[in-house]
Structure 1
Amino acid sequence: MHTAPSGHVDTYVIGDIQGCCEQLQQLLTKIEQQSPQARLLFAGDLVNRGPQSLATLRLVKQLHEQGRADSVLGNHDLHLLAVANGIRPAHRSDTLDDILQAPDRDDLLDWLRHRPLAICLDDHLLIHAGVFPQWSVQQTLSLAQEVTTQLQSENWISLLRQMYGNTPNQWNDHLQGADRYRCIINALTRMRFCSSDGIMDFASKDGVGTAPAGYAPWFDLPRASADHTLVFGHWSTMGLVLRPNLISLDTGCVWGGKLTGVSLRNRDVVQIDCPQQQEPG
């Protein structure tokens, strides 16, 4: 179960970078000016679609090895692992070649697959995308650890082969094997809209006002995790959202929006304007 150390050091959570390393460096400079010893937690999607995926991965790995940072896995990070192992073809919009051709490729990919899917820090839970309404924080951490254990085992390639697909789209404690892992991964790295009885919708990727009939943004449903502040990225069309028990961090850096960091101590927001690297859609 992955729990980050707390202490008195300020922690900044940072949204989806997606290979925009120049903007990440600018953001880190701003954060260090305000809190020189700040710990950094990244909401996943470190790579892909931006121009500097290799530099981004190297930088975050270096920060982690210095004891300053960690990251949860996002869907683009898992996609990189799948492409690198011949499980999925590259997408037309992918910008992963610099990593795949790098001399330190194996070290970077090994480090990436050892990242968690959920991190708990005091009363904050960091995931990339979402959690089912019925999942408590402890259950979320436990289920995330099940996948992490597989991803760090000798069976990790098999897990990557089995993780694609939209079914089952509803959690059941009795799910087993590939179905169980796939459902956990889809919730933690892909979820946006969900029904009150815990059925995920994967078709709609637009803003919160575009929920299909019978669905709502997962965080607007009554949820067993409401005793913690949920921190996540993934949903760039929603942008920055700060509520008493919610921090949404993906502000569309790769789409020409901003790269955002938020202090967990005082909700201080630090942002960098980003040039557009990809056309939406």
Structure 2
Amino acid sequence: MARYVIGDIQGCLPQLKQLLARLQFNSAQDELWFCGDLVARGPESLQTLRFIKALGPQHKVVLGNHDLHLLACAYGVATAKASDQIDQVLQAPDRDELLDWLRYQPLMHYEPQEQLLLVHAGLAPGWSVATALQACAKVEQLLRQSPMQLFLHMYGNEPTLWHQATTDAERWRFTVNSCTRMRYCQHNGALELKEKRPPTEVPQLRPWYEFWQEVPHPQIFFGHWASLMGLSPVKGIHALDTGCVWGNSLTAYCIESGQRYSV
């Protein structure tokens, strides 16, 4: 058995199939972990959702910001842009089945015995793993039972620190921002949600993973940050978004061997 963690697909299904062929993926014994952002910006978001859903529940998926935005658009809270390329999903005959499957996926997957953590964007400074899982569980419950309530409060950049979140809505928003949007933080750990450039171009900010450099942490697998191009600057923290939708590569990391594969 091998477990492969795959970076942001964003509707690039042909490249995913090429990558699985290179891995010699065997669905009977191997397992795929997806870092989120299955959809948007690429040409085959609908086909990608169908393909991954059909793989079955043994494969792990966490939600990314584009996945949540798709759901918010489906519920009428947000409006899709032409560049999102998600109209095909919203107009599909099986859209309800696909979107129901998507909203039952978690924000974070954690395996405590092996200390493995899968998340789209990262683990916020000041959070313990236990705190993060508790916060995610509340958002996941809302997403499954009362999604409109989440989507109406999901958008926005405040609060930037966990201890500043004093209402349920603020805690939900901080959790979503940390798990699906975060790249940088201020030096006090406050989330900075607008900057996308690589760290060499933004010395005034700290990448979120630097806060975990001297702190015990599980192995963390994340996507979301294409400009890193797979750079893993902190031991045990693995960046897997290598910008496939922007014309670069799609990358998988084998947990068992530590080897990376790209197409």
TM over 0.5: yes
Question: How does 1:1-281 map onto structure 2 within 5 Å?
Answer: 9-32=1-24, 37-65=29-57, 67=58, 69-121=59-111, 122-153=114-145, 155-172=146-163, 175-211=166-202, 213=204, 215-222=205-212, 226-242=216-232, 243-272=234-263
Offset of 1:176 from its aligned partner?
2.3
The 10-residue stretch of structure 1 (218-227 or 144-153) with the greater mean CA deviation from structure 2: 218-227
Choose between structure 1 and 2: higher helix proportion: 2
Structure 1 runs of 4+ with >6 Å offset: none
SS of residue matched to 2:106: coil
Does the aligned pair in 1 maintain the 2:7–2:252 contact within 8 Å?
A: yes
Offset of 1:241 from its aligned partner?
2.4
- Amino acid of the structure 1 residue aligned with 2:36: G
Q: Distance in 2 between matches of 1:180 and 1:132?
A: 13
Offset of 1:220 from its aligned partner?
0.8
Offset of 1:254 from its aligned partner?
0.3
The 10-residue stretch of structure 1 (183-192 or 200-209) with the greater mean CA deviation from structure 2: 200-209
Assess, with a 3 A threshold, how the Cα gap between structure 1 residues 203 and 10 changes in structure 2: closer, same or farther: same
SS of residue matched to 1:251: coil
| Identity percentage of aligned residues | 43
**What runs of 5+ residues in structure 2 fail to find an aligned partner?**
none
**What runs of 5+ residues in structure 1 fail to find an aligned partner?**
1-8, 273-281
Does the aligned pair in 1 maintain the 2:110–2:116 contact within 8 Å?
A: yes
